[in-house]
Amino acid sequence: MLKFISRLTLITGVFFLLGLMASCADKKDSEQIDSAQNQTESIAERPLALVIHGGAGTIKRENMTEEMEAAYRAKLQEALDAGYAVLETGGNSVEAVRSAINIMEDSPLFNAGKGAVFNSLGKHELDASIMEGQTLNAGAVAGVTKIKNPIDAAILVKDSTRHVMLSGTGAEEFVSQYGITMVETSYFDTEKRLEQLHRAQGKEKVVLDHSGVLDTTPIDDHKYGTVGCVALDKDGNLAAGTSTGGMTNKKFGRIGDSPIIGAGNYANNLTCGVSCTGTGEFFIRTLAAHEASNLMLYQEKTVDQALEEVIRQIQELGGDGGMIAMDKDGNVAWDFNTAGMYRAYRKSTGEMKIEIYEKTK
Amino acid sequence: MLKFISRLTLITGVFFLLGLMASCADKKDSEQIDSAQNQTESIAERPLALVIHGGAGTIKRENMTEEMEAAYRAKLQEALDAGYAVLETGGNSVEAVRSAINIMEDSPLFNAGKGAVFNSLGKHELDASIMEGQTLNAGAVAGVTKIKNPIDAAILVKDSTRHVMLSGTGAEEFVSQYGITMVETSYFDTEKRLEQLHRAQGKEKVVLDHSGVLDTTPIDDHKYGTVGCVALDKDGNLAAGTSTGGMTNKKFGRIGDSPIIGAGNYANNLTCGVSCTGTGEFFIRTLAAHEASNLMLYQEKTVDQALEEVIRQIQELGGDGGMIAMDKDGNVAWDFNTAGMYRAYRKSTGEMKIEIYEKTK
């Protein structure tokens, strides 16, 4: 009997061990399959995303006609789709940013490229900047007057020089050697912006580009403008770009935040990409775009929390404007303390949003 | 007996309570006295401190004559004393920074003001910036050619405009209205810098200002220059200033880090004041000065640790140069990954140091 029990134990033990081995093998196989599936899924599901803005300011429903709103929405959609198409066809985030911004630069609706505001001399001085999140490579041009698409010049400076920032006629001389489209400064003229200049000069006021309430705009207090884009590509690389026509009636070669890396524009794969618009001086003093990134890096803020905190810092100093940002996982954020901001995003999850007026939850 | 004990207890209790009250009153008095003493002491002992740099580069003992070294040491001492005298007589940190930098701008030994390097057109383009730690107010000029002391222009922009950064002829037009000393661009010419330009043009190289080893300087790889100062005044306010003549044989209106708030210059009473010198592009991409401040604010680094970490970030990207900084308690730090950096500090504790070559502990 004892022998029988002993044999039974042995047999049971062997079966148990065999079962255990089989179970382990199964587990290993299934782990391998899981891992392979995850990898396939993570490539397939690696998020693509693009967010744009077309400037912040006193943009209110009551000052907007249905036609104007439709025109803005259509152009934001066009820019969004152009940038997203680059991402969807495997292009990189810098090219996506370029495509989206080019559409807005070429449209007279925004204060960048065609439709840029006039400076005090009746000319246009444009600024732009680009930054890559993977390498921290960056390029910028400031105070250029003859470059059709300043964002293209910024990308050229990033790729073809060891410099970050070129300015004025020197920048133009450099980029003209590389087949960048140059135009007469009159190309940027639009009737609407000329009227704004005349009104501003009449009042000796420096006005914002999207203001519908010129009369209440204090001198020099509002320096909106700017279009911008942040994109995340299939390789997980972020890029941020910003382009602007500056301020109406601008004087003295003023440089705002748009061409300044860390102020109006920043990208870092460790954290986020950011593009700003608003009273540029406050974005310079707070290093708004770099501050948002550091709040994520060193304070473990989400991209939403980071923008909220930076807008709070800007407001505390007396400034206003807006920011768009995207983290390395494609989470989009925007925030502003103005009445409105032209803004839109599109993601590979299928989500898409175009907004103009007050923030909604 | 019980009655006696009870009375004794009562009496003891009363004495105990009286003693306790007296003790408390004593403590309160002595606390008040302590507090008053502390206040007197803290005003009397509130630290004054000033730190300056005159550029980093391949500054080596073997390339320096005794006379040259003595001249540099004497000029650094003069700048230190001029700035410190402002602090000692109750002046504010911005004025101390101005005084120290003016001395270096007026000396042909440094690449700022008189003695600025030549650009590719045989002209001089100067940049400067200033920031106040208490208010985060800032001012900067970029690419100016006729302003004798660019740091004065930066201070004027900070105080007399709502802008942070003015550039080129526009900046000159603005400051010339305010009695700032204007000079012909030939004022900045020096024989030594002209020789450097000719050698650089011969080699088509962009060279650093303090290089004694021109032949081994790779094209465009070195962009030193710059003088800077950080001061802490009797009110506990920090200020940082930076002034530069840019790069020899500089082209295309390149703007470096010196006039860019957060890159080459930054001050914040919560953390520190910083002035940088080196390959400006890397200081822009890392937002070197703002990064140092944020490492103190968000990572609880000391001012020494913060500079060490930022220089590490710059070196990781392939850049080099140096930084000076001072925290709100007057602790001075400097760090660099070049052979040397002209640098000096003076404090109300009596400490003073002037150094040129490799770092010493």
Tens digit of each residue's pLDDT (9 = 90 or more) over B171-192:
999 999 999 999 999 999 998 8
The DSSP output letter for B141 is E
pLDDT for B68 beyond 80: yes
B173 CB near a chain A CB, below 8 Å? yes
Find the CB nearest B170 among A252, A286, A287.
Answer: A252
Both A104 and A29 in one domain: the answer is no
Please tell me the predicted confidence (pLDDT) of residue A40.
47
pLDDT band at B9 (very low <50, low <70, confident <90, very high): low
Chain A: residue whose CA lies nearest to B168: A253
Q: Is residue B337 part of a domain?
A: yes
Q: From chain B, pick out residues whose CB is under 8 angstroms from the CB of A255.
A: 142, 165-167
- Beta-strand (E) ranges in A17-116? 49-57
Indicate which residue of A58, A145, A217, A226 is catalytic.
A226
For residues A222 and B180, give the distance between their C-alpha atoms in angstroms, rounded to a whole number.
28
Please state the separation of Cα A197 from the chain's center in Å.
28
For residues A116 and A105, give the distance between their C-alpha atoms in angstroms, rounded to a whole number.
8
The residue among A271, A129, A164 whose CA lies nearest residue B294 is: A271
Both A136 and A216 in one domain: the answer is yes
Both A124 and A187 in one domain: the answer is yes
Both A127 and A9 in one domain: the answer is no
Determine, for residues A136 and B254 on separate chains, whether the beta-carbon distance falls below 8 Å: no
The residue among B118, B145, B87, B135 whose CA lies nearest residue B248 is: B118
For residues A347 and A352, give the distance between their C-alpha atoms in angstroms, rounded to a whole number.
6
Query: Which amino acid, A174?
Result: F
A295 CB near a chain B CB, below 8 Å? yes
Q: Is residue B152 part of a domain?
A: yes
Determine, for residues B295 and A298 on separate chains, whether the beta-carbon distance falls below 8 Å: yes
Both A10 and A117 in one domain: the answer is no
Phi-psi category of residue A252: left, alpha or beta, with phi > 0 → left and psi -120 to 50 → alpha: left
Please tell me the predicted confidence (pLDDT) of residue B207.
52
Domain that holds residue B101: 47-355
Domain end among B45, B62, B77 = B45
Phi-psi category of residue A358: left, alpha or beta, with phi > 0 → left and psi -120 to 50 → alpha: beta
Please tell me the predicted confidence (pLDDT) of residue B195.
87
- Give the tens place of pLDDT for each residue, B248-289: 888 889 999 999 999 999 999 999 999 999 989 999 999 999
pLDDT for B315 beyond 70: yes
Please tell me the predicted confidence (pLDDT) of residue B66.
93
pLDDT band at B345 (very low <50, low <70, confident <90, very high): very high
Cβ atoms of residues A191 and A245 within 8 Å? no
What residues in chain A have per-residue pLDDT under 50?
1-2, 5, 16-41, 208, 211-223
Both A21 and A137 in one domain: the answer is no
Task: Identify the residue among A127, A131, A160, A162 best suited for mutation to test binding to B, counting B beta carbons within 10 A and taking the highest.
Answer: A162
Determine, for residues B291 and A290 on separate chains, whether the beta-carbon distance falls below 8 Å: yes
Burial degree of B86 (CB within 10 A; 0-12, 13-18, 19+):
buried
Q: Is residue A93 part of a domain?
A: yes
Q: Is residue B95 part of a domain?
A: yes
Q: What's A241's domain CATH number? A: 3.60.20.30
For residues B219 and B222, give the distance between their C-alpha atoms in angstroms, rounded to a whole number.
8
Please tell me the predicted confidence (pLDDT) of residue B28.
42
Please tell me the predicted confidence (pLDDT) of residue B361.
56
Both A93 and A14 in one domain: the answer is no
Q: Is residue A323 part of a domain?
A: yes
Element at B3 (helix H, strand E): helix B2-44
- Give the tens place of pLDDT for each residue, B220-237: 334 466 999 999 999 999
Both B104 and B225 in one domain: the answer is yes
Both B86 and B72 in one domain: the answer is yes
Please tell me the predicted confidence (pLDDT) of residue B120.
86
For residues B204 and B183, give the distance between their C-alpha atoms in angstroms, rounded to a whole number.
29
Both B326 and B195 in one domain: the answer is yes
For range B120-144, the mean pLDDT: 96
Cβ atoms of residues A102 and A128 within 8 Å? no
Check residues B31 and B200 and name the one with the higher pLDDT: B200
pLDDT band at B43 (very low <50, low <70, confident <90, very high): low
Q: Is residue B361 part of a domain?
A: no
Cβ atoms of residues B224 and B208 within 8 Å? yes
For range B28-43, the mean pLDDT: 47
For residues A284 and A304, give the distance between their C-alpha atoms in angstroms, rounded to a whole number.
20
Cβ atoms of residues A298 and A272 within 8 Å? no
Is B89 in the active site?
Answer: no
Concatenated DSSP letters for A161-210? -S-SEEEHHHHHHHHHTTT--B--GGGG--HHHHHHHHHHHHHT----TT
Find the CB nearest B281 among A142, A163, A260.
Answer: A163
- For A118, residues 6+ apart whose C-beta sits below 8 A from its C-beta are A124, A189, A193, A194, A196, A197, A248, A249
Both B196 and B307 in one domain: the answer is yes
- Give the tens place of pLDDT for each residue, B76-110: 999 999 999 999 999 999 999 999 999 999 999 99
* The total number of structural domains that make up chain B: 2
Both A30 and A126 in one domain: the answer is no
Determine, for residues B162 and A220 on separate chains, whether the beta-carbon distance falls below 8 Å: yes
- Tell me the count of A-B CB pairs closer than 8 A: 129
